[in-house]
Amino acid sequence: MSNFFTRAWEGMIKPILFRPKRVQVAALCYRTTTGKKEVLMITSRGTGRWILPKGWPIKGKDGGESALQEAWEEAGVQNGRVQADPIGAFSYEKELKTGLPIPVQTFVYTVGDVELSDTYPEAHQRQRKWFATQEAANLVREPELQDILRQL
C-alpha cells in the first residue's frame, strides 16, 4: 500500500505542487521628461489592469530582444535601446486559457530612447499610457515589480 502512495506522490502530487516556474520577459520602457522618469504601461487584455508589456521568450532572440518584440506588439514601441541584462525579476501566477494558474518568473529589461507608433498589432486590444515611476509602482500588484519601478 505504501508503494501506491509513493508512486502517487512522485508521479502526480509532487510535480503539481513543486513544478518549476515558466519564464517570461518584460519591457520596462521609460523616458525622462522635466528631469523625471516615466514608465510606459499597458492594460492587460483580460482584466484591464496596468502592466508592463511582457510575454514568452521568442526562439532565435535573446531576452532583451524578446522583450522589445513584446513591447512592439503590445505597446507600439518601434525603436528603443534595450539593455542586455535584466534589471530584476518578479513572480506571478498566470491564468491559462484552461483556467489553471501557472507560476511565472518574469525578467525585466529596460528600454530607453523609445519611439512609439500609432499602429501596432494590439492597438485595438489595449490602452497605453506614460506614468511617473511611483504611480506605476502603485498600479501593479506584484511587490517585486513595485520595488523595481520605485528603484528606476
Q: What is the CATH number of the domain that holds 136?
A: 3.90.79.10
Q: With respect to residue 116, please indicate whether it lies within any of the assigned structural domains.
A: yes
Per-residue model confidence as pLDDT tens digits over 58-72? 999 999 999 999 999
Residue 27 has pLDDT above 80, yes or no: yes
Spatial contact of 80 and 133, defined as CB atoms under 8 Å apart: no
Cα angle 149, 35, 83; round to 5: 50
Q: With respect to residue 87, please indicate whether it lies within any of the assigned structural domains.
A: yes
DSSP strands (E only) in the chain = 22-33, 36-43, 50-51, 54-55, 77-82, 88-95, 101-116, 128-132
Per-residue model confidence as pLDDT tens digits over 134-151? 999 999 999 999 999 999
Domain holding 50, by residue range, is 21-151
Q: With respect to residue 25, please indicate whether it lies within any of the assigned structural domains.
A: yes
- Name the percent of the chain lying above pLDDT 90: 73
Model pLDDT, residue 16:
59
* Other Cβ atoms within 10 Å of 21 Cβ, number: 15
Is the whole model's pTM more than 0.95, yes or no? no
Say how many domains are in the chain: 1
CA 61 to chain CA mean position, Å: 16
